[in-house]
Amino acid sequence: MTQVEKALVLKEELDSLRPLSREQELRIMQKFRLDWNYHSNHLEGNSLTYGETKALLLHGITAQGKPLKDHLEMEGHNEAIEWVMERVKGEYPLTESFIRELHQLLLKQPYWVDAMTPEGAPTRKKVEVGKYKSLPNHVQTSTGEMFYFATPEETPAQMDDLMKWYRKKTASDEVNPVLLAAEFHYRFIRIHPFDDGNGRTARILMNFILMKYGFPPVIIKTEEKSNYLSALRQADAGIIEPFITYIATNLVQSLDLMIRGAKGESIEEPEDFDKELALLEQRLKKGKQEVEKTVEVVQELYEKSIIPLFQRFMEEGKKFERFYVQPRHYLSLNSSDYASDNIYTAIPAIKSRITEKSTQFGMLYSYRVFANSEYGNFNHNAKIDVMLGDSTYFVLLDDKTAKLERPYGEQLTEEEINELVRAEMKRHKEFIEKKIAGK
């Protein structure tokens, strides 16, 4: 029996156990979701451990010393999975619009990455979300050769062809969901339609197809990365059977797990215990490193993290002043505002007011009266708050979508500061765009 055939047989066994109780369903899908988020992002270089992923997604706890980008990436991937799981329940067709919306949820906001020109020279490019690539994204292989995906000019037509192929396959009474999902994954990867996030998007789309037909999602594990890439390379050489077998083998593992859960048996895997021990060790280390909140500690935080954060916020915020008649900026300590014409003087002056009872630092950029009156008379606030807890501090943006928690004694990195400010500036830009569009 081939792995594809075995998957179909196990699917029949799973169907005989349905419907699952709500508790069984939630318990099984939570494990799939955690494993899926961790492994799919880890395959692409995300640094969060399994324990850190679990702490972030289940409890909102951020990991010490890990980049803000990795946290936002994990949250975006989880949001995309939840969005897809909801659409599996309804009659949502798989379309190009569906794929672009999924990509936008996944990556959340534009960013810059290292890239190569078609000639193999290093360069930088901006990753746009929810849009097909505007620059080539060819890659250099281990032999030094360039591997060519679809060009930006070819991408729209090839994506249209992919969706026509998919609709034709799904219209057939003899469709094999395992073959369909695996081949769709490969065809999508071969196009590489986006600037970044193609692997994660392909795996989510493959699982959307499988779940539409009642299968559980396939989890490509980090330790299987070399086998996964090897199967893809064979497909690139025109031999797709190993890739289909590889996907089917992993699907069999997911089916085994779901059947155990449906029977009320344990769905924990041997390595899960090792992950839990690693999380316990991390918590113990965190406890040992806890720094008590004192005036001196908060003053050091203010000098080394908050002042650079607020100064960067000011530099970027000034770019929006030309759009408004009355731009003003305010600092706050313990929610009491301090306005100043010379904000660079006011920022260090706040330091002298810090006490053990200080609980909040904030910077508000108030933009009043949009200058282009034909689009309406509207205002906007951009804001960053730093909240001081007993042993940790929190950084929150005005819409609360990006957040960061750090223990005292651990300062913000330049990358984290840039990510936080960029997120708030992007929110402002999108706000203006919506107003201009009449939304």
Per-residue pLDDT, 283 = 54
| pLDDT tens digits for range 36-68 | 999 999 999 999 988 889 989 988 888 877 888
CA angle at 60 for the pair 58 and 66, rounded to the nearest 5°: 110
DSSP letter string over 213-264?
A: TTPPPP---GGGHHHHHHHHHHHHTT--HHHHHHHHHHHHHHHHHHHHHHTT
pLDDT of residue 408: 87
- % of residues, the chain, pLDDT over 90: 58
Could you tell me the pTM of the whole model?
0.68
Q: What is the pLDDT, as a whole number, of residue 118?
A: 64
- pLDDT category, 237, cuts 50, 70, 90? very high
Exposure letters 289-304 (e unless 16+ CB within 10 A, then b): eeeebeeebbeebbee
Residue 107 corresponds to which tokens in the numbers above? 């990556």
Tens-place pLDDT, residues 364-420: 899 999 998 888 889 999 999 999 988 889 898 876 555 688 888 889 988 889 889
Q: Would you state the pLDDT for residue 281? A: 61
To the nearest whole number, what is the mean pLDDT of the chain?
88
The pLDDT of residue 335 is 75
- pLDDT of amino acid 398: 73
The predicted pLDDT at position 418 comes to 87
pLDDT for 342 equals 61
Rounded percentage of the chain residues whose pLDDT exceeds 70: 90
- Which pair of tokens denotes residue 95? 């379309």
pLDDT at residue number 135:
87
b/e 211-238 (16+ beta carbons within 10 angstroms → b): bbeebbbbbbbeebeeebeebbeebeee
User: pLDDT at position 337, please?
Assistant: 65
pLDDT tens column, 330-353: 888 887 766 555 666 677 778 888
Enumerate the β-bridge partners of residue 330. 339, 364
Where exactly are the structural domains of the chain? 3-278, 295-436
**Average pLDDT of span 194-223:** 97
Q: Tens digits of per-residue pLDDT, 71-127?
A: 999 999 999 999 999 999 988 999 999 999 999 999 988 888 777 666 667 778 888
Residue 421's Cα: distance from chain center in Å? Answer: 18
Tokens linked to 33: 């979701």
Q: What is the mean pLDDT of residues 303-328?
A: 91
Q: Is residue 271 very low, low, confident or very high in pLDDT (cuts 50, 70, 90)?
A: low
Instruction: Identify the pLDDT of residue 343.
Output: 63
CATH entry 1.10.3290.10 includes domain 3-278? yes
CA distance 270 to 273: 6
Closest by CA position to 63, among listed 392, 300, 315: 392
Mean pLDDT of 173-182: 96
